[in-house]
Structure 1
């Protein structure tokens, strides 16, 4: 099954059953952002996790199996600068998932890039390695109806 067919089928089942990304995350024991990316076809579940999601959402066999296939992550532009490329890769892999989670948490809207701050800090990982921590902090702007 192609990525878009799986993504559409999974989202339709999830919304029909009123199951949030956070609900799915609890069932598989993973971070909601990772789960949202997997549901959007940008990460994969283990076969056991895919079976749990399939049972929760009442997915058919081929759709459930597709959740554990290796994803092709090519939905974002390419650049030659490695740092900028990785930032684009993050948005490519997690952007749809973050947007979907934000809509579930805040409603229909966007994160402001005007009333916004960005922080980057060097932190130490669990095994002593240097890590780059980036925090995006933007005011939530609801779309208005008229």
Structure 2
């Protein structure tokens, strides 16, 4: 950034010098201009150093909102999870009882998904909570990224170009919906007998609009005009 400022100031002052005929004035102005350029460059550099990057600012704001959202649910979440542990209830057991996938139950009991009324009734009965105790979990939460989640981001980022290519080859100009969408997990065994995880992302194939969707009202496509 400093080099950019110096470079541009140098070009501006050089052009100015060409207008002035007096060599002494050129030297004098050049000295003052150089000094001004240095001072400005240092000031801007200090300002940039003191100001956190935009991404960091956004991340901090999101983290604070997520923390506040979590704290509003914390007392209820702690009580619900402790009660489930006391009864020996696993995510799979609760999921089976409430007809939901284990991952969904885990998201609800970690405050990362809004609780729907039928599921609330089921969880309160299964865990042994008073009716209405889980009401604070009905409000959609502000979500955050935990450290362990970064590995999932990495996996998607690394293979996303390949996945996108496969999507295009199979479905045309399309993407995977994250709304009409579910996630399931399975435990598998590797070739050496090691425990492995399988994550299944199941979403609707959403196609982008074609030229026919972008025609003015009342007009026909080229094929229809033939």
User: If the TM-score is normalised by the length of the shorter chain, which range does it land in?
Assistant: 0.3 to 0.5
Q: Which has the higher contact order (CA 8 A, sep 6+)?
A: 1
Bigger radius of gyration among the two:
2
Q: Whose strand fraction is larger, Structure 1's or Structure 2's?
A: 1
Q: TM-score, normalised by structure 1?
A: 0.43
Q: Whose helix fraction is larger, Structure 1's or Structure 2's?
A: 2
Q: TM-score, normalised by structure 2?
A: 0.28
